[in-house]
Amino acid sequence: MQPRDVFDGILLAILGTILYLHLIGPSFSSARAQTVVDVLLGLDLIFYLVFAGMLAICFLGYLFIYLPQKQSTNLAR
């Protein structure tokens, strides 16, 4: 692991903790969790299809654009 990767991971963990505490709070409420579940189950199927399509496009871009460029620069290994 590169030192930058560790630093980015720590920043991501801190950001996730801050967002969790800000949005959900330090105490877990089952009523709030039930509200989140109800909202997610109430969304239309088209939302999930569009979201899955965007994730698929990002994944394919990663596979066909980023990885080949990274492998072409690491030929010495």
DSSP secondary structure, 62-76, as one string: IIIIIHHHHHHH-TT
- Whether 46 and 54 have beta carbons less than 8 Å apart is answered as no
pLDDT in tens for each of the 77 residues of the chain? 677 888 888 999 999 998 888 887 777 778 888 998 999 999 999 999 999 999 999 999 999 998 888 888 776 65
Those residues whose C-beta lies under 8 Å from the C-beta of residue 24, and which sit 6 or more positions away, are: 32
This prediction has a pTM of: 0.50
Q: What are the residue boundaries of the structural domains of the chain, listed by start? A: 1-42, 43-77
SS3 (DSSP) at 28:
coil
Cβ atoms within 10 A of the Cβ of 32, count? 13
The CA-based diameter of the chain, rounded to the nearest angstrom, is: 56
